[in-house]
Amino acid sequence: MSPVTVVVGSSVGGVRTAQALRAAGYDGDVVLVGEETVAPYDKPPLSKGLLAGTSTTADITLLTEQAAREAGIELLLGRAASGLDVAGRRVELDDGERLAYDDVVLATGARARPSPWGALPGVHVLRSLADATALADDLRQGGPLVVIGAGFIGAEVAATARGMGVADVTLVDPAPVPLSRALDVEVAGILARLHAENGVHTRFGVGVEGIERVAGGLLVRLADETVLPAATVVVGIGAVPNDDWLRDSGLRLDDGVVCDAYSRAAEHVYAVGDVARLPHPRRGGLVRAEHWTNAVEQARTVARTIALPESPLAHVPVDYVWSDQYDRTIQLTGRTGGTLAHVLVPGPDPDRAFAALYADADGTFAGAVTVGWPRALVTCRKAAGQDTGTSLEEIRQALSAPRPGVRKEAAR
Amino acid sequence: MAIVKADLELCQGYANCVVAADDVFDLDDDGVVVLLRAEVPESDVDRVTDAARSCPVSALLVETP
């Protein structure tokens, strides 16, 4: 009998784990279980190109049936896992089938936090392809659009809607600035102005009281008694991990599946991606990283560990996230915002590009946000990933120095 | 030897490749990928392939003969 690995969850973490098992030389059976019936797809484009209509479902497909066959991955789509028997090594599906495994990978991701103001027609969340398709249909009817929540998803939806020609877009957040969990007030203020410059009305620092349906549309009531008429509302207020199905498994759940440094929740049970909570050596404590790059990297390490169990690979959560808003790429690495001290470094085109560098009290570089300046991000991300501290001043000088590196002319 | 290919139109400067293999990939001032080497020896193929697979927009390819 050849061994069997069951991967539960068919978004990027699950698909990449299945593929990486083969790349690592795993010769057992690989079964990939996905709740949705559509072919596995990539999620970052859902708030960008897919929503705008500039990329298609085919463009964002992660694994076609043919590619799965060729890689020896058995795809079970439209099948939701409902339980896990850790001692008996079985995954229970909601149609009653039980899948035996030698190793199992939990990659069920996260879902959009539902609207606390009711699920009225015209009120959307954005997490799945179906969500994106439904939202795109509504946005093509025009505005007004009210986006509640100025995190990554909300900010990207507002930017994409403007690009689609939606005239009347309002971005609302109870925090005084966008991306308030990740950025300080000064840097976030620059991004707030980016929205305003692109014609988005911003209502920061005011909460939402309720949403109601009236003849001809929706009304969003704010805490300051403003009423915003809307044809479409998007609620982008975070995500919650899909760990409910593991409630009776005996695994430790704490806003995600708690794992050790090897992404192990129990013997032969691993978790990957948004659903996994694991120790972060540089932050201290357990972290649930909700980022694409982290999921991809963790998929690789878990697959190697399953294929070569005698030399397990630890996973250090990857602190890197990007966001595309208007014509800018915003990139964050390491620890940013909060009470950390920061300096701003102008980019090659100071009107369009800058880096904000953050440091701990002793001047040690902690992390950065770069706007329109990917080269600076590389320097910052390498430094943020090192265990030995680099000083903020060192990074600032490296970014400010004339770059002897690759010139544009040489690249083309 | 394996051949490394980059689609400069697709590249968005997300920089995962550079962090994973900075002896093969770099970014130019506009944040577009630059191949420092077009060929990698057999001993580097797994590592560079992992770097290519880390591209969020699949702009990189490592072709083994």
In chain A, how many domains are there? Answer: 3
* Sole residue written with tokens 């501290």: A389
Per-residue pLDDT of chain B (65 residues; tens, 9 = 90+): 999 999 999 999 999 999 999 999 999 989 999 999 999 999 999 999 999 999 999 999 999 87
Inside any domain, residue A16: yes
| Window 31-60 of B, Cβ < 8 Å to A | 31-32, 34, 36, 46, 49-50, 53-54, 56
* C-beta atoms of B49 and A23 within 8 A: yes
Q: Are B17 and B33 in contact (CB under 8 A)?
A: yes
A156 and A182 part of one domain? yes
Average pLDDT over chain A reads 95
Compute the distance between CA of residue A77 and CA of residue A327 in angstroms, rounded to an integer: 36
Who's near A351: CB < 8 A, 6+ residues apart?
A: none
List CB contacts (< 8 A) between A293 and chain B: 14, 16, 54, 56
A407 or B2, higher pLDDT: B2
- % of chain A with per-residue pLDDT over 70: 98
Same domain, yes or no: A59 and A151: no
Q: Do B31 and A324 touch (CB under 8 A)?
A: no
> Domain of B38: which CATH number?
3.30.70.20
Domain containing B15 equals: 2-63
- pLDDT of the residue at B64: 86
> Which residues lie across from B2 on neighbouring strands?
B40
A289 shares a domain with A208: no
- A247 in a structural domain: yes
Collapsing DSSP to helix, strand or coil, A158 comes out as helix
pLDDT of residue A402: 72
- ipTM for the predicted complex comes to 0.94
Q: What are phi and psi of A278, to 5 degrees?
A: -145, 165
Structure tokens given for A241: 């991990």
User: Residue A409 pLDDT > 70, yes or no?
Assistant: no
Contact A81, A8 (CB under 8 A): yes
Q: What SS3 state is found at A283?
A: coil
The reply to whether B26 touches chain A by the CB within 8 Å rule is yes
Out of A251-255, A281-285, A286-290, A315-319, least confident range: A281-285
SS3 of B1-39: CEEEEECCCCCCCCCHHHHHCCCCEEECCCCCEEECCCE
Name the CA dihedral angle for A284, A248, A2, B45, rounded to a multiple of 10 degrees: -30
Which chain B residues contact residue A370 at CB under 8 A? Answer: none
Please indicate, yes or no, if residue A313 is contained in any of the structural domains.
no
Q: Are A105 and A270 in contact (CB under 8 A)?
A: yes
Residue A318 inside a domain? The answer is: no
- Determine the 3-state secondary structure of A127 from DSSP: coil
Domain of residue A179: give its range: 123-235
pLDDT at A411: 40
**Closest approach of chain B CAs to the CA of A369, in angstroms?**
13
- Mark yes or no for CB contact A322/B14 under 8 Å: yes
Q: Which of A300, A374, A410 is nearest residue B50 as measured by Cβ atoms?
A: A300
A180 Cα to chain B: minimum distance (Å): 22
Point out the domain boundary residue: A174, A202, A235.
Answer: A235
Q: In this structure, how many other beta carbons lie within 10 angstroms of the beta carbon of residue A400? A: 12
- Residue A121, preceding peptide bond in cis (omega within 30° of 0): no
Is residue A118 one of the residues assigned to a domain?
no
Point out which residues pair with A5 in neighbouring strands: A30, A103
Tens of pLDDT, residue by residue over A374-393, are 999 999 999 998 878 899 99
Cross-chain residue pair B56–A300, CB shorter than 8 Å: no
CATH number for the domain including A264? 3.50.50.60
Domain containing A392 — which CATH number?
A: 3.30.390.30
Render pLDDT for A88-146 as a digit per residue (tens, 0 to 9). Answer: 999 999 999 999 999 999 999 999 999 999 999 999 999 999 999 999 999 999 999 99
Which residue of A lies nearest to B37 if distances are taken between CA atoms? A411
Report whether A70 contacts A60 (CB < 8 A): no
DSSP string of A215-271, one letter each residue: TTEEEEEETTS-EEEESEEEE---EEES-GGGTTS---BSSSEE--TTSEEETTEEE
| Residues A341 and A247 occupy one common structural domain | no
- Indicate whether A373 belongs to any domain: yes
Poorest-pLDDT segment among A47-56, A163-172, A399-408: A399-408
Confidence category of residue A261, pLDDT binned at 50, 70, 90: very high
Q: Does position A338 have pLDDT exceeding 90, yes or no?
A: no
Q: What is the pLDDT of residues A200-242, one digit of tens each?
A: 999 999 999 999 999 989 999 999 999 999 999 999 999 999 9
Percent of residues in chain A assigned helix, strand, coil, to nearest 5:
25, 30, 45
Query: How far is residue A307 from each of residues A30, A103, A213, A312, A335, measured CA to CA in Å?
Result: 11, 10, 54, 9, 33
Neighbours of A1 (CB within 10 A): 7
Which pLDDT value is given to residue A389?
86
Q: If you measure CA to CA, which chain B residue comes closest to A407?
A: B28
Of A103, A82, A79, nearest to A92 (Cα)? Answer: A82
Q: Is residue A314 part of a domain?
A: no
Report yes or no: B21 and B30 within 8 Å, Cβ to Cβ: no
B25: nearest CA partner in chain A: A406
Residue A312 lies inside a defined structural domain of this protein: no
Tell me the C-alpha distance between A163 and A59, whole Å: 20
Above 60 in pLDDT, residue A339? yes
Q: Are A246 and A179 members of one domain?
A: no
**Domain count along chain B:** 1
- Average pLDDT of the residues in A295-304: 97
* One domain, residues A127 and A229: yes
My answer on whether A136 and A206 are in the same domain is: yes
> pLDDT tens for residues A47-59?
999 999 999 999 9
The tokens for A55 are 């990329």
Cβ separation of B34 and A406 shorter than 8 Å? yes
Nearest CA in chain B to A382: B19
Same domain, A16 and A101: yes
